[in-house]
Amino acid sequence: MTDLSAFPITKKWPATRPDVLQLYSLPTPNGVKVSIALEETGLAYEPHLVKFDTNDQLTPEFLSLNPNNKIPAIIDPAGPGGQPLALFESGAILVYLADKTGQLMPADPARRYETLQWLMFQMGGVGPMFGQLGFFHKFAGKDYEDKRPRDRYVAESRRLLGVLDKHLQGKTWILGDDYTVADIAVFPWINNLIGFYGAGDLVGYGDFGQVDRVLKAFVDRPAVQRGLQIPNRG
């Protein structure tokens, strides 16, 4: 049996199946990227819930795995060369899982880089902008009489949705017929924007029919439906 005792995080979240990939996460848009990818690939894994309401992400055990105190993070006991690999940052984890399984990433080098550019589009644009919009709209907006911060993120979120909507014309997925980590990165954030954040009307989501078409196809996938609930909040 694999020994993961060298990783301090396993003291707080013991591995009952140390031979499989360990996922430390919460079902947020960034967290479910990895659980969805794991469900899509069929790779065996054990999820561990990192609770923000008790500041689990700030504990020494979690910081030993991710010093940036963000979810998700993983330990793969069967990493490169057969050695355990600890990894954080959802985008990096998605690329790693795609490479490990040979799934969710086109084999053609040019198509691979196209996939990576849309993954970076989410990491550098969609995630930060939608997250700030959610903060000012759902959480702290009532505390700010000046709506210019919120409106700045509304405008940028609309712009990003417009970029994606135009790109999706005539395509099944972001990379055309290929379902990839780019879709798994982008669409949980859009689902969260109109769902949990309740910002659909605010951003005029009805103007982006292509985005909505592909989002519906995305959430209809059984692996996505499972991944959106993992780890179970208990």
Q: Could you read off the pLDDT of 38-64 as tens digits, one per residue?
A: 999 999 999 999 999 999 999 999 999
CATH number of residue 30's parent domain: 3.40.30.10
Asked if pLDDT for residue 143 goes beyond 80, the answer is no
- The full length of the chain comes to 234
- 150 found inside a domain: yes
For residue 66, what are the domain limits? 9-104
The residues near 104 (Cβ < 8 Å, ≥ 6 apart) are 37, 40, 41, 94, 97, 98, 179, 180, 181, 184
Report the pLDDT value the prediction gives residue 149, as an integer from 0 to 100: 85
The last residue of one of the domains, among 73, 104, 135, is 104
CATH number of residue 128's parent domain: 1.20.1050.10
Q: What is the C-alpha R_g of the chain?
A: 18
* One-letter-per-residue 3-state SS of 121-165: HHHHHHHHHHHHHHHHHHHCHHHCCCCHHHHHHHHHHHHHHHHHH
Q: Could you read off the pLDDT of 25-36 as tens digits, one per residue?
A: 999 999 999 999
pLDDT band at 69 (very low <50, low <70, confident <90, very high): very high
Report the pLDDT value the prediction gives residue 92, as an integer from 0 to 100: 98
Please name the helix (run of DSSP H) or strand (run of DSSP E) that holds residue 22, with its range, or none.
strand 21-25
Statement to judge: residues 53 and 82 lie in one domain? yes
Statement to judge: residues 127 and 23 lie in one domain? no
Statement to judge: residues 46 and 71 lie in one domain? yes
- 195 found inside a domain: yes
Report the pLDDT value the prediction gives residue 141, as an integer from 0 to 100: 72
Give the whole-number percent of the chain exceeding pLDDT 70.
99
The last residue of one of the domains, among 81, 104, 127, is 104
Burial of 165 (0-12, 13-18, 19+ CB in 10 A): middle
pLDDT band at 234 (very low <50, low <70, confident <90, very high): confident
Asked if pLDDT for residue 132 goes beyond 80, the answer is yes
- 4 found inside a domain: no
The C-alpha atoms of residue 39 and residue 82 are separated, in whole angstroms, by: 22
Q: Could you read off the pLDDT of 76-130 as tens digits, one per residue?
A: 999 999 999 999 999 999 999 999 999 999 999 999 999 999 999 999 999 999 9
What average pLDDT does this structure show over 147-157?
A: 92
Report the pLDDT value the prediction gives residue 1, as an integer from 0 to 100: 63
* Average pLDDT value for the chain: 96
Supply the pTM of this predicted model.
0.96
CA distances from 70 to 29, 30, 107, 118 (A): 12, 9, 30, 22
The last residue of one of the domains, among 104, 121, 145, is 104
